[in-house]
Structure 1
Amino acid sequence: MEWNLDSQTMLAASGGALKQLQFYVAPSMNNADIAAAINAAVAANSAKVINVSLGECELGAKASGMTASVDQMLQAAVAHGQTFSVSSGDSGSYECGGSSAYQSYPAVSPYVIAVGGTTLTTGGTTAYGSEKTWSGSGGGPSSTEAAPSWQTASGVLTTAKTKRGVPDIAFDADPGSGELVLVSGSTYQVGGTSLAAPLFSGFWIRIQSANGNKLTSPANAIYKYFKANPSLYRDVASGSNGAFKATAGWDYTTGWGSLNIANLNAFIAKTAGF
Structure 2
Amino acid sequence: MKTILIVDDEPRTRLGIQKTLVTWSAGRHRIEIAASGVEALEWLKVNSAHIIITDVRMPEVDGLQMLEILAMRGQLPVVFVISGYAEFEYAQKALQLGAFDYLLKPLDKSKLIDIVKRALELDSGRERLGAMEKLVDSKLLVAGIDEARYSTVIKDAISYIYTHLHEAISMKQIADLLHLNASYFSVLFKEQTGVTFSDYLTRSRVQRAKELLVTSRMPIWEISEKVGYQTAKYFIKVFKDNEGISPSQYRHQVLDAEQIIQ
**Normalising TM by the smaller chain, what interval?**
0.3 to 0.5
Q: Say which structure is richer in strand.
A: 1
Max radius of gyration: which structure? 2
Q: Say which structure is richer in helix.
A: 2
Q: What TM-score comes out, normalization by structure 2 length?
A: 0.40
Q: What TM-score comes out, normalization by structure 1 length?
A: 0.38
